[in-house]
Amino acid sequence: MDESLKILVTGCRGQLGMDLMAYLSDNHQVAGISRMEVSITNRAGVLSMFKAVRPDWVIHTAALTDVDECEGKPGLAMAVNADGTENVARACKEIGAKLLYFSTNYVFDGVKGSPYVEEDMPNPLTAYGRSKQSGEERVRSLLDDYVILRIGWVYGSYGHNFVKTIVKLGMEQIRDREAGRSIHSLQVVSDQIGNPTWTIDIARQTEAILQSGLFGLFHVAAEGETNWFDFTQMIFNSLEMKVICDPCTTDQFGQPAPRPRYSALANRRCTEAGINRMSNYRAAVEEFLKIHRESLCG
């Protein structure tokens, strides 16, 4: 079923929204809405936007994604990620559109120790995780034709992400050293494990799921798992950057919101359905760095 679809993307100026729009536009008619047009907390505004576009599918990426900010503002996190998602789901129901909602690996508590499959029970540690889980529940309770796609540790060329931040910090250290200034070793957390996943791979998998005719919950992550410290070393080796960095623990790093220690996802459902399009995380990040080397290191 490789038909061209009419798709509306929420959060179209976000990291994932930008790449989804670009990728899906090759084969589909794609429109986007951002917070500049309407906040998803505005139920009537969302409905009127959806009525104007009348898409077959809404891909809902808009969210409050800063985990530490959500921890400090749990009410706002719920208002955007849960109530906002309910507004999107209600508008989909009203116009007869199908909904694909992006959720997160942070719905899990991280104690399992092996890749989470779709059947595992969520137990979020954070306000962000709770708000996204609540978003999932709203979607399930309102719609029959929905897809919930859990992702994690996302990077791409737009917005903020780990890969861009670590390369920037590494470049700053190199420049300081070259200028004769004192330098500090980069401290990188080594006790959190997950699957760093490229937005382009997520976009490819999203299209495969839309075209499969399957509904329900899917985990979508790069194949293979790593920790932030090993991933950092891989990135610096690949870019031939000589950066002094040392592993530290999550507790030593000290972020406001707790993080699940183990949040790797298994692409079980896509694999069983024969539609797993995800690359290994090493191959994906090598490709990403090859494409973006100049802008990242410039």
Ligand X SMILES: NC(=O)c1ccc[n+]([C@@H]2O[C@H](COP(=O)([O-])OP(=O)(O)OC[C@H]3O[C@@H](n4cnc5c(N)ncnc54)[C@H](OP(=O)(O)O)[C@@H]3O)[C@@H](O)[C@H]2O)c1
State the catalytic residues.
Answer: 128
Taking the complex as a whole, the smallest distance from the CB of residue 1 to ligand X amounts, in Å, to 25
* Longest CA span, the chain: 63
Binding piece for ligand X, criterion CB under 6 A, among 38-46, 171-179, 228-236, 261-269: 38-46
Interacting residues with ligand X between 221 and 280 (CB under 6 A): none
Q: How far apart are CA 259 and CA 33, in angstroms?
A: 30
Binding piece for ligand X, criterion CB under 6 A, among 11-19, 173-181, 261-269, 280-288: 11-19
Taking the complex as a whole, the smallest distance from the CB of residue 126 to ligand X amounts, in Å, to 12
Does residue number 80 form part of the binding site for ligand X (CB under 6 A)?
yes
How many residues sit close enough to ligand X to count as binding (CB under 6 A)? Answer: 26
Binding piece for ligand X, criterion CB under 6 A, among 151-159, 171-179, 242-250, 270-278: 151-159
Token pair in block for residue 84: 């906002």
Token pair in block for residue 4: 């061209």
Buried b (16+ CB within 10 A) or exposed e, 237-252: eebebebebebbebee
Q: How far apart are CA 288 and CA 285, in angstroms?
A: 5
Instruction: Please identify the residue of the shown chain whose CB is closest to the bound ligand X.
Output: 14
Task: Indicate left, alpha or beta for 274 from its phi (over 0: left) and psi (-120 to 50: alpha).
Answer: left
Q: CB-wise, 103 or 173, nearer to ligand X?
A: 103
Binding piece for ligand X, criterion CB under 6 A, among 34-42, 181-189, 207-215, 288-296: 34-42
Question: Which member of 159, 224, 247, 258 binds ligand X (CB under 6 A)?
Answer: 159
Does residue number 110 form part of the binding site for ligand X (CB under 6 A)?
no
Taking the complex as a whole, the smallest distance from the CB of residue 284 to ligand X amounts, in Å, to 14
Does residue number 13 form part of the binding site for ligand X (CB under 6 A)?
yes
Q: How far is CA 195 from CA 7, 31, 205, 240, 267, in A?
A: 27, 29, 15, 23, 11
Q: How far apart are CA 284 and CA 198, in angstroms?
A: 7
Taking the complex as a whole, the smallest distance from the CB of residue 34 to ligand X amounts, in Å, to 6
Burial class (CB in 10 A: 0-12, 13-18, 19+), 204: middle
Does residue number 41 form part of the binding site for ligand X (CB under 6 A)?
yes
Does residue number 148 form part of the binding site for ligand X (CB under 6 A)?
no
DSSP single-letter state for residue 107? G
Would you tell me which residues interact with ligand X (CB under 6 A)?
11, 13-17, 34-35, 39-41, 61-65, 80, 84, 102, 104, 132, 151-154, 159
